[in-house]
């Protein structure tokens, strides 16, 4: 098998607005301030207490100091990327990146239900131009987990008019930026968001439990379809997708009793949303981090190597995930994949092995068009705060100094050679 990737393969990395920009004012910022003390006080129990849907937890001794500090849970200045994007894109260009996924912060663009901020739109236009000046293809996400506070106060995604509200924002963003963007991601990981808000820790604006969960998934799916139409009506050539979390579900010991739950999980998590939006997808944006080995409905087992979050590192799971996506007959772009690894102990081998699997999947007929590593920069990891370090580039949050990790240089080499 040739080790080269297709010539047009898009190599790069991803970020999201709230996780890197700093000084956002949205539903998360309000929630962080109200919950930082609680998150710090309950960190040990939350991180090591075990969970039905996950296996593995971080090494508590290694993370305890940061995880018990309330400041860890307040995004604050984050990476100050809103101001420092030029330098950050210089770094991406130095590291040979040819594509970059980032998200627009809805709360900046539409600070009130009836108000839009032209300066914010101009800012994102400048960001896109800064990428293009460096020969980097922008992949623009319209919604990556954060919403304006006014939207949250109306019930967030569970409110009956949520999709119409979102559509007004999408229309404005597409009108202002559409001529400069070829790749759009409408919404990021509907089921992750619904799960974390309705059954997990994240800010829930319309209650928790099963009904709001289903409603949230349904609304985000509809939001995608409408956003797709808005974009395509004005820019028929634009390539539009969602970023879909795809998990490789494997039945423990391949037993029949475990095969059924694995198949059900695969149907609900991987297949359901993609089927519903099949006609409104130009490609599939795949976010992939994990394999879950199911013993009945419990996640069991762990490989030897895990990330700092305790997530198992299974590079071959990406092959299985990609081969599953073949069934939709669409091109695929890996819009996120990576590991929290502050010491940069695993990132390089994991990345190399993942890319070998991607190459194999291409050889076996899955049309993968790009790979965007999560993440370009260390960033704010939602309810876990700042301690998990996903960046190819390390960020010193005290000084805002950036230092590419060794794995970033290895990735730059791979990009230069267009393969391994
Ligand atoms: C999300 C990112 C997040 C990453 C690592 C994905 O689910 O889209 O925002 O940082 O996973 O947890």
308 Cβ below 6 A of ligand 1: no
Ligand 1 atom closest to residue 384's alpha carbon, by position in its atom list: 12
CA of 271 to the centre of ligand 1 (A): 20
> Do residues 223 and 273 lie in contact, with contact meaning Cβ atoms separated by under 8 Å?
no
For ligand 1, pick from 336, 337, 339, 375 the residue to mutate: most ligand atoms within 8 Å of CB.
336
Q: Average pLDDT for residues 384-412, to the nearest whole number?
A: 98
Per-residue confidence (pLDDT) for residue 302, from 0 to 100: 84
> Do residues 263 and 223 lie in contact, with contact meaning Cβ atoms separated by under 8 Å?
no
> Do residues 353 and 319 lie in contact, with contact meaning Cβ atoms separated by under 8 Å?
no
* pLDDT of residue 113 exceeding 90: yes
Give me the sign of the Cα torsion angle 191, 194, 196, 199: negative
CA of 54 to the centre of ligand 1 (A): 15
CA of 390 to the centre of ligand 1 (A): 9
Strand order in the sheet with 248-251: 248-251, 291-295, 298-300
CA of 61 to the centre of ligand 1 (A): 24
Q: If 0-12 CB within 10 Å is exposed, 13-18 middle and 19+ buried, where does residue 387 land?
A: buried
Q: Average pLDDT for residues 41-63, to the nearest whole number?
A: 85
**Residue with CA closest to ligand 1 atom 12:** 381
16 Cβ below 6 A of ligand 1: yes
d(CA 307, CA 381) in angstroms, rounded, equals 14
> Do residues 291 and 250 lie in contact, with contact meaning Cβ atoms separated by under 8 Å?
yes
189 Cβ below 6 A of ligand 1: yes
Ligand 1 atom closest to residue 188's alpha carbon, by position in its atom list: 8
* pLDDT of residue 54 exceeding 80: no
pTM for the predicted model, two decimal places:
0.98
**Residue with CA closest to ligand 1 atom 5:** 381
- pLDDT category, 55, cuts 50, 70, 90? low
Q: What is the number of other CB atoms lying within 10 angstroms of the CB of residue 122?
A: 12
Token digits for 203? Answer: 């800010």
**Residue with CA closest to ligand 1 atom 10:** 381
374 Cβ below 6 A of ligand 1: yes
Say whether 75 sits in a helix, a strand or coil.
coil
pLDDT tens string 75-108: 999 999 999 999 999 999 999 999 999 999 999 9
192 Cβ below 6 A of ligand 1: yes
381 Cβ below 6 A of ligand 1: yes
14 Cβ below 6 A of ligand 1: no
Q: What is the number of other CB atoms lying within 10 angstroms of the CB of residue 101?
A: 30
CA of 297 to the centre of ligand 1 (A): 23
Between the two ends of the chain, the Cα-to-Cα distance in Å is: 12
Task: Pick the closest to residue 401 from 185, 48, 88 (CA basis).
Answer: 88
- What's the length of the chain? 420
Omega cis (within 30) before 90: no
336 Cβ below 6 A of ligand 1: yes
Per-residue confidence (pLDDT) for residue 146, from 0 to 100: 98
d(CA 66, CA 193) in angstroms, rounded, equals 25
d(CA 323, CA 316) in angstroms, rounded, equals 11
| Helical H segments across 68-201, by residue range | 81-94, 106-109, 118-133, 149-153, 162-177, 190-198
Per-residue confidence (pLDDT) for residue 365, from 0 to 100: 97
In this structure, what DSSP letter does residue 183 have?
E
Per-residue confidence (pLDDT) for residue 49, from 0 to 100: 81
* pLDDT of residue 1 exceeding 60: no
CA of 4 to the centre of ligand 1 (A): 28
Ligand 1 atom closest to residue 245's alpha carbon, by position in its atom list: 7
Per-residue confidence (pLDDT) for residue 56, from 0 to 100: 79
CA of 380 to the centre of ligand 1 (A): 10
Per-residue confidence (pLDDT) for residue 4, from 0 to 100: 83
* pLDDT of residue 230 exceeding 60: yes
d(CA 318, CA 325) in angstroms, rounded, equals 11
pLDDT tens string 405-417: 999 999 999 999 9
pLDDT tens string 120-162: 999 999 999 999 999 999 999 999 999 999 999 999 999 999 9
For ligand 1, pick from 185, 195, 200, 382 the residue to mutate: most ligand atoms within 8 Å of CB.
382
- Looking at per-residue pLDDT, the higher value among 341 and 303 belongs to 341
CA of 374 to the centre of ligand 1 (A): 8
């Amino acid at each position: 098998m040739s080790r080269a990737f297709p010539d047009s393969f898009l190599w790069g990395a991803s970020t999201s607005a709230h996780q890197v920009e700093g000084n956002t004012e949205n539903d998360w910022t309000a929630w962080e301030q109200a919950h930082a003390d609680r998150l710090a006080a309950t960190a040990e129990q939350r991180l090591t207490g075990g969970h039905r849907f996950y296996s593995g937890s971080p090494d508590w001794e290694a993370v305890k100091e940061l995880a018990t500090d309330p400041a860890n849970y307040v995004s604050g200045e984050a990476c100050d990327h809103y101001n420092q994007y030029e330098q950050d894109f210089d770094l991406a260009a130095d590291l040979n990146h040819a594509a970059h996924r980032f998200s627009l912060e809805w709360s900046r663009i539409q600070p009130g239900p009836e108000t839009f901020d032209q300066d914010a739109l101009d800012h994102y236009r400048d960001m896109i131009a800064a990428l293009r000046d460096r020969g980097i293809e922008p992949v623009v996400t319209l919604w990556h987990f954060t919403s304006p506070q006014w939207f949250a106060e109306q019930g967030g995604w569970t409110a009956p008019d949520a999709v119409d509200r979102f559509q007004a924002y999408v229309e404005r963003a597409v009108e202002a930026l559409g001529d400069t963007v070829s790749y759009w991601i409408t919404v990021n990981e509907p089921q992750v968001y619904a799960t974390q808000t309705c059954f997990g820790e994240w800010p829930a604006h319309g209650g928790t439990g099963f009904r709001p969960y289903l409603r949230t998934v349904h609304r985000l799916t509809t939001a995608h379809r409408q956003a797709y139409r808005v974009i395509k009506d004005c820019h028929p050539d634009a390539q539009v997708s969602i970023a879909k979390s795809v998990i490789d579900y494997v039945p423990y010991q391949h037993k029949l009793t475990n095969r059924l739950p694995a198949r059900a999980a695969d149907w609900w998590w991987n297949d359901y949303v993609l089927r519903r939006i099949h006609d409104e997808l130009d490609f599939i944006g795949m976010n992939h981090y994990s394999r879950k080995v199911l013993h009945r409905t419990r996640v069991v087992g762990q490989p030897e190597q895990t990330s700092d979050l305790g997530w198992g590192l299974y590079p071959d799971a990406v092959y299985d995930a990609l081969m599953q996506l073949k069934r939709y007959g669409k091109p695929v772009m890996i819009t996120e994949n990576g590991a929290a690894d502050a010491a940069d102990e695993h990132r390089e081998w994991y990345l190399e092995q993942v890319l070998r699997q991607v190459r194999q999947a291409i050889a076996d007929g899955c049309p993968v068009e790009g790979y965007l590593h999560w993440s370009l920069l260390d960033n704010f990891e939602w309810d876990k705060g700042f301690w998990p370090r996903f960046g190819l580039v390390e960020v010193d949050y005290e000084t805002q100094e950036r230092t590419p990790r060794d794995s970033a240089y290895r990735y730059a080499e791979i990009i230069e050679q267009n393969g391994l």
